[in-house]
């Protein structure tokens, strides 16, 4: 039987529909960008390990927003050491730009969902065999929604979350193709890197409203 906590996190990601991919030059900036996205209604945050001391930012966000307001995950996790740092800081899920067997093992050990970046059928099958519940289609800008339909023909059980190239303009096409959620970076939270946190909140509101409309049909 799947770990209940793990199932709850996966359900929250599906319910959220969008995960904001947050980068930043400092812990303070990354936390402010994340808070602005959450204020706009985005429930999923992927705090990337390109942020210096990313584990500190994750810990602050988990402490501030907990599981009620948002689910906080770690992104750009390339190795098991970073994965454990993230998990110990309270990350509820772990995301990578590529598949790592070592990261999969540590996440399975702690019953934390692992979403590796995959681009080929072979990578996706490897991820499924390693116990990954959601595969991050990356880069989404290169793959496109057509890739999702192609993958789901032989792998109807595959939960796919595209990241890279996701925008308000193509949300409908991604969900129509059958994705479980989307990851959105610069198109959603980019203004925050220039200090425009109000625009991040406005962008977040627009994403949330559009996904809600799509899901309601």
46 catalytically annotated: yes
Which one, of 180, 178, 185, lies nearest residue 204 by Cα?
185
Q: Are 161 and 19 in contact (CB under 8 A)?
A: yes
Of the candidates 43, 136, 193, 205, the residue annotated as catalytic is 136
CA 134 to chain centre: 10
- For 36-105, the DSSP string reads HHHHTT--EEEEETTSTTHHHHHHHHHHHHHHHH-EEEEES--SHHHHHHHHHTT-S-EE-SS--HHHHH
Q: What angle do CA 49, 74, 107 make, to 5 degrees?
A: 115
Of the candidates 46, 105, 123, 129, the residue annotated as catalytic is 46
Residue recorded with tokens 């303070």: 28
- 109 contacts: CB under 8 Å, gap ≥ 6: none
Please give the Cα distance from 157 to 113 (Å, whole number).
16
8 catalytically annotated: no
Residues labelled as active-site residues: 46, 136
């Amino acid at each position: 039987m799947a770990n209940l906590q793990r199932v709850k996190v996966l359900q929250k990601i599906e319910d959220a529909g969008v995960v904001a991919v947050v980068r930043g030059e400092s812990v303070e900036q990354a936390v402010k960008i994340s808070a602005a996205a959450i204020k706009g209604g985005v429930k999923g945050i992927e705090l990337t390990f390109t942020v210096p001391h990313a584990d500190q930012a994750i810990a602050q966000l988990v402490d501030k927003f907990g599981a009620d307001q948002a689910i906080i995950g770690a992104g750009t996790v390339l190795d098991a050491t970073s994965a454990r740092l993230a998990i110990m800081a309270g990350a509820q899920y772990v995301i990578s730009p590529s598949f790592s067997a070592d990261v999969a093992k540590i996440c399975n050990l702690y019953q934390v969902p692992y979403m590796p970046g995959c681009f080929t059928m072979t990578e996706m099958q490897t991820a499924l065999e390693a116990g990954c519940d959601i595969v991050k289609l990356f880069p989404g800008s290169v793959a496109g929604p057509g890739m999702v339909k192609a993958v789901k023909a032989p792998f109807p059980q595959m939960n796919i979350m595209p990241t890279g190239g996701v925008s308000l303009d193509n949300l409908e096409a991604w969900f129509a193709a059958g994705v479980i959620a989307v990851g959105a970076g610069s198109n959603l939270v980019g203004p925050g890197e220039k200090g425009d946190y109000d625009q991040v909140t406005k962008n977040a509101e627009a994403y949330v409203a559009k996904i809600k409309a799509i899901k309601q049909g």
